[in-house]
């Protein structure tokens, strides 16, 4: 008997789910869970709400309402949409909850202790008109690779992770003014240190070839690492080290880590040791996500697992098998890519 933790990407609470969200990600995850249960395995459906993204803040500003109220309203709608198609997550994680914040900080500390977090000088976009640092969907411009309209997050056309110093014609989505760059100290995930191990594991996986090739190309071109923190008023606040005091973790790390918060909650509900379960040879981790999530799942999430001693997806290339050959906490290769926003 295997144990499956099936974790579709957490939606942003800035609107209802539409049929693309349901059919592209959440329904497929539900089918996978039901199939594994029928086959006699344990399968748990774990997702949540990514409450600390700028999408919710932008929506709140447009409505003139508090962010927390807007998030709550749309989380209720998201759960109603899932119930309408008979999808009931075993665990639904609120990233604003104290249990998730504690877990996210614990993961960050573990990465620090393992030597994979560095404090470096970086830059962040800043609006002089509004006197605020901006991030993600608060900044709009053009992708430096394909010139498509994008925000300072991920290009939905080519999948590039946008660095603030590369966004072309950057402007503030709130006021429309041009943005400037300001130097900051920030936490950076040392992906170059993991590049060789990640490249080998991804090359041996059964991920779809275009996704596998794209992830390996990203690793080959990433000479700087991935920023993990920024100046932003909503999120999991960092108190240590002193250089990062008051910054918050990037939601592409913290928000996606809700799967691990959910796993720990599920294990507690079943009176099981989370560590023992996560290291058990019979445990599998399955991600379902959208096209706009693929960079941080294939590189960021997988790298954070590997850096803490957990194997990343190493499924053999096969049209019929999605099993990992890793010895413990085995994420199954990316099952599906569809829209999530």
Burial call 93-132: b when 16+ CB within 10 Å, e when fewer: bbbbbeebbebbbebbeebeeeebbeeeebebbbbeeeeb
Residue 222 CA to residue 294 CA, distance in Å, equals: 16
Domain segments of the chain as ranges = 3-104+248-338
| Per-residue pLDDT in tens (0 to 9) along the chain, 341 residues | 999 999 999 999 999 998 888 988 999 999 999 999 999 999 999 999 999 988 999 899 899 999 999 999 999 999 999 999 999 999 999 999 999 999 999 999 999 999 999 999 999 999 999 999 999 889 999 999 999 999 998 888 887 788 899 999 999 998 999 999 999 999 999 999 989 988 888 888 777 788 888 889 888 887 788 999 999 988 999 988 888 988 999 999 999 999 999 999 999 999 999 988 988 888 888 888 877 778 888 899 989 998 998 866 533 222 222 222 223 344 444 433 333 34
Q: For residue 309, what are the CA distances in angstroms to 203, 260, 282, 287?
A: 19, 14, 17, 19
Q: Do 238 and 244 touch, CB atoms closer than 8 A?
A: yes
Which pLDDT score, from 0 to 100, does residue 18 have?
87
Q: Which of 214, 226, 159, 220 is nearest to 186 (CA)?
A: 226
**The token pair that represents 9 in the structure block:** 């990407």
Which pLDDT score, from 0 to 100, does residue 325 have?
25
Considering the entire predicted model, what is its pTM? Answer: 0.88
Within a 10 A sphere around the Cβ of 208, how many other Cβ atoms? 15
Residue 337 CA to residue 292 CA, distance in Å, equals: 9
What dotted CATH number matches 3-104+248-338?
3.40.50.620
Which pLDDT score, from 0 to 100, does residue 324 have?
26
Which pLDDT score, from 0 to 100, does residue 198 have?
87
Within a 10 A sphere around the Cβ of 276, how many other Cβ atoms? 10
Q: For residue 285, what are the CA distances in angstroms to 100, 259, 280?
A: 19, 9, 11
């Amino acid at each position: 008997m295997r144990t499956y933790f099936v974790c579709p990407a957490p939606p942003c609470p800035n609107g209802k789910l539409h049929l693309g969200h349901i059919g592209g990600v959440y329904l497929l995850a539900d089918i996978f869970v039901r199939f594994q249960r029928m086959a006699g395995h344990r399968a748990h459906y774990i997702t949540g709400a990514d409450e600390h993204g700028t999408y919710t803040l932008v929506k709140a500003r447009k409505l003139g309402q508090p962010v927390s109220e807007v998030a709550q309203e749309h989380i209720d709608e998201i759960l109603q949409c899932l119930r309408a198609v008979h999808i009931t997550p075993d665990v639904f994680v609120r990233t604003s909850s104290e249990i998730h914040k504690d877990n996210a900080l614990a993961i960050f500390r573990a990465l620090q202790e393992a030597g994979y977090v560095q404090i470096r000088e970086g830059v962040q976009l800043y609006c002089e008109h509004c006197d605020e640092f901006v991030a993600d969907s608060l900044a709009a411009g053009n992708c430096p690779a394909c010139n498509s309209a994008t925000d300072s997050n991920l290009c939905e056309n080519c999948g590039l992770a946008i660095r603030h110093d590369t966004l072309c014609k950057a402007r503030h989505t709130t006021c429309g003014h041009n943005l400037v760059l300001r130097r900051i100290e920030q936490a950076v995930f040392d992906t170059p240190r993991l590049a060789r191990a990640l490249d080998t594991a991804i090359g041996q996986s059964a991920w779809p070839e275009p996704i596998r090739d794209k992830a390996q190309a990203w690793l080959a071109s990433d000479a700087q690492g991935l920023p993990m923190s920024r100046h932003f008023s909503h999120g999991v606040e960092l108190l240590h080290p002193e250089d990062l005091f008051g910054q918050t973790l990037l939601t592409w790390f913290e928000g996606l880590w809700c799967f691990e918060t959910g796993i720990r909650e599920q294990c507690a509900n079943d009176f099981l040791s989370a560590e023992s379960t996560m290291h058990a040879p019979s445990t599998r981790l399955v991600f379902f996500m959208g096209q706009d999530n693929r960079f941080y799942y294939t590189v960021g999430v997988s790298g954070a697992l590997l850096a803490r001693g957990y194997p990343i997806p190493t499924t053999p290339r096969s049209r019929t098998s999605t099993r990992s050959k890793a010895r413990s906490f085995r994420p199954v290769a990316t099952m599906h890519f569809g829209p999530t926003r």
